[in-house]
Amino acid sequence: MAIKASEVNKLRQQTGAGMMDCKNALVEANGDFEVAFDLLRKKGQKIAAKRGGNEAKEGLIIAKSSVNSKAGVIVTLNCETDFVAKNDGYLAFVQSLVDLALDKLPTSLDELKTLSYNEKLSVDEKITEQIGILGEKLDLSAYTLMESDRVVAYNHPGNQLATLVALNSDSEIAEDAGKQVAMQVAAMNPLAVSKDGIDAKTIEKEIEVGKDQAIQEGKPAEMAEKIAMGRLNKFFKENTLLSQQFVRDNKVTVEQFLNNAEKGLTISDFRRFSLS
């Protein structure tokens, strides 16, 4: 039967599928729009089942703060190839997931997947539909929500790395300082905000390594503990955000930079997602 171009275009706009895929689906469905829609979705399910064992190490990571800066999210959607990741349509799809997350503020990855993407499909079902369109395995692999007085997002060029930082002030000064610290998190990859956030197992390991190194260097056993504690303090300075040297001015720590920007300003939490 004859399929009108307007019907093909309508299906394309709703699904993002190519013109020929939409036309073929409508032909197979004898012009029934709903049946054609389901055919395209089932195509995604078939491809998803076929490519389920494939690795999806490429993709995009996008962080974004809400309009009032009180919340921020990071979403990671993986795909199989860099070619798909660089597609404008893929970027737009990930951005739509980020916008949905900011609107609904789900607290977990599973909750995000079950949200309604549109009137017909959940987020998980929409991703399956996109698998049929793109022909690759897609995996919504990571998500985080952060809420605070001010949450600042940073996206590294290329969207392979993104960060969020939570600050205890909602001032414009905090916004600017937060952007710089969010870039610090991206560049320096701290383990925690302060030494209080380092788990006991990691601390014990660093002390043991410090002792062993001191003994191997010929230091007396009774001095090894003291030397190890000194090296532990160095570990804290290098791996905890507030104690790190500020990358734009290594004469001050991040903690000092924040306090100089606004008295009492500090970071309460951060997130860092990376593909590598």
pLDDT in tens, 204-254: 999 888 888 888 888 877 788 888 888 999 999 999 999 999 999 999 999
Residue that is last in its domain, among 15, 31, 50: 50
What confidence tens digit (pLDDT) does each residue in 174-209 have? 999 999 999 999 999 999 999 999 999 999 999 888
| Residue 18 and residue 77 share a domain | no
Instruction: Find, among 177, 132, 172, the residue nearest to 154 by Cα.
Output: 177
With cut-offs at 50, 70 and 90, classify the pLDDT of residue 65: very high
Q: What pLDDT, on a 0 to 100 scale, did the predictor assign at position 39?
A: 80
65 lies in the same domain as 137:
yes
Q: Can you give the pLDDT at residue 33?
A: 81
Is the domain of 18 the same as that of 94? no
- Structure confidence by residue, pLDDT tens digits, 5-64: 888 888 777 776 778 888 888 888 888 888 888 787 777 677 767 777 788 999 999 999
Domain, as residue range, for 23: 5-50
Q: What domain count does the chain have?
A: 2
88 and 20 inside one domain = no
Beta bridge partners of 62: 75
Q: Greater confidence, 23 or 172?
A: 172
- pLDDT tier at 1 (50, 70, 90 boundaries)? low
The pLDDT, as a whole number, for residue 259 is 97
Q: How far apart are CA 273 and CA 80, in angstroms?
A: 18
State the CATH number of the domain containing residue 120: 3.30.479.20
Q: Do 116 and 140 reside in the same domain of the chain?
A: yes
Question: How does DSSP classify residue 240?
Answer: B
Could you tell me if 33 and 106 are in contact, meaning their C-beta atoms sit under 8 angstroms apart? no
Which helix (H) or strand (E) segment holds residue 269: the answer is: strand 267-274
Residues 88 and 132 in one domain: yes
Same domain, 69 and 95: yes
Cite the beta strand spans of 66-138 per DSSP E: 71-79
| Burial grade of 121 (CB within 10 A; 0-12, 13-18, 19 or more) | middle
Kindly tell me if the per-residue pLDDT of 78 is higher than 90. Answer: yes
Paired with 167 in beta bridges are 150, 267
We report the CATH number of the domain holding residue 41 as 1.10.8.10
CB 33 within 8 A of CB 26: yes
For the stretch 84-111, pLDDT in tens is: 999 898 999 999 999 999 999 999 999 9
